[in-house]
Chain A
Amino acid sequence: MTQTLELKDKMEGLLRTNRLPHVWCSGCGIGIVLNSFLRALIASETDENKVAVSCGIGCTARISGYMNIDGFHMTHGRALAFATGLKLANPALKTVAIGGDGDMIAIGGNHFIHAARRNIDMLVICVNNFNYGMTGGQAAPTTTKESCGTTAPYGSFENPFNLPFIADACGAVYVARWTAFHVRQLQLSIQEALKKKGFSFIEIFSQCTELFLRKNKYGAGLDEMKFFKQNSVIKNGADTREAEFNSRNDKIVVGKFVDRERPDFKESMDGYFGKVLKDKFIRYEGPLQTKI
Chain B
Amino acid sequence: MKEKNLEDQNFSSPRGGEWIETQTQQKLKGTVAIIRERCKGCGYCIEFCPLKCLEFSKEFNGKGYHYPHIKFPEKCTGCDLCGMYCPDFAIFGKKLL
Of the candidates B2, B8, B80, the one whose C-beta lies within 8 Å of that of A17 is: B8
Complex: how many Å from CA A27 to CA B63? 15
Question: In this assembly, does B7 line the interface, its C-beta being within 8 Å of a C-beta of chain A?
Answer: yes
How would residues 38 to 59 of chain B score, 1 for a CB under 8 Å from any chain A CB and 0 otherwise?
1011111001100000000000
How would residues 205 to 227 of chain A score, 1 for a CB under 8 Å from any chain B CB and 0 otherwise?
00000000000000001100100
Of the candidates B2, B41, B44, B63, the one whose C-beta lies within 8 Å of that of A225 is: B44
Known: A28-B87, A31-B87. 14 other contacts (CB 8 A): A6-B94, A8-B33, A20-B38, A20-B88, A26-B42, A29-B87, A32-B86, A34-B87, A35-B84, A35-B89, A36-B84, A49-B1, A222-B47, A225-B47
Q: Given the complex, which residues of A lie within 8 Å of B86, measured CB to CB?
A: 31-32, 35
Most chain A Cβ neighbours within 10 Å, of B8, B41, B43, B89: B89
CB pair A8 B94 closer than 8 Å: yes
Q: Given the complex, which residues of A lie within 8 Å of B44, measured CB to CB?
A: 27, 221-222, 225
Question: In this assembly, does A11 line the interface, its C-beta being within 8 Å of a C-beta of chain B?
Answer: yes
CB pair A21 B38 closer than 8 Å: yes
Closest chain-A Cβ to B60's Cβ sits at a distance in Å of: 14
Of the candidates B37, B87, B94, the one whose C-beta lies within 8 Å of that of A27 is: B87
Q: How large is the interface on A (under 10, 10 to 19, 20 to 34, 35 or more residues)?
A: 20 to 34
How would residues 18 to 49 of chain A score, 1 for a CB under 8 Å from any chain B CB and 0 otherwise?
10111011111111101110010000000001
Binding site for A on B (CB under 8 A): 1-3, 5-8, 33, 37-38, 40-44, 47-48, 63, 65, 80-81, 83-90, 92, 94
Question: In this assembly, does A81 line the interface, its C-beta being within 8 Å of a C-beta of chain B?
Answer: no
Closest chain-A Cβ to B48's Cβ sits at a distance in Å of: 8
Kindly list the 7 A-B residue pairs having the minimum CB-CB distance in the complex, ordered from nearest: A31-B87, A27-B42, A26-B40, A8-B92, A183-B84, A21-B38, A17-B5
Given contacts A24-B87, A30-B87, A35-B87, contact A18 B40 (CB under 8 A): no
CB pair B87 A11 closer than 8 Å: no
A-B contact pairs, 25 of them (CB 8 A): A6-B94, A8-B83, A11-B89, A15-B89, A17-B5, A18-B6, A20-B89, A21-B40, A21-B63, A21-B88, A21-B90, A24-B87, A25-B40, A26-B42, A26-B65, A27-B40, A28-B87, A31-B87, A31-B89, A32-B86, A35-B87, A187-B84, A222-B43, A222-B44, A225-B47
Given contacts A16-B5, A225-B47, contact A32 B85 (CB under 8 A): yes
Question: In this assembly, does A247 line the interface, its C-beta being within 8 Å of a C-beta of chain B?
Answer: no
Complex: how many Å from CA A221 to CA B86? 12
Q: Which residue from chain A places its CB closest to the CB of B84 in the assembled complex?
A: A183
Given contacts A17-B5, A27-B42, contact A184 B84 (CB under 8 A): yes
Complex: how many Å from CA A36 to CA B40? 18
Complex: how many Å from CA A161 to CA B41? 33
Question: In this assembly, does A68 line the interface, its C-beta being within 8 Å of a C-beta of chain B?
Answer: yes
Question: In this assembly, does A269 line the interface, its C-beta being within 8 Å of a C-beta of chain B?
Answer: no
Complex: how many Å from CA A38 to CA B63? 26
Closest chain-B Cβ to A72's Cβ sits at a distance in Å of: 14
Complex: how many Å from CA A115 to CA B6? 39
CB pair B88 A31 closer than 8 Å: yes
Q: Given the complex, which residues of B lie within 8 Å of A39, measured CB to CB?
A: 84
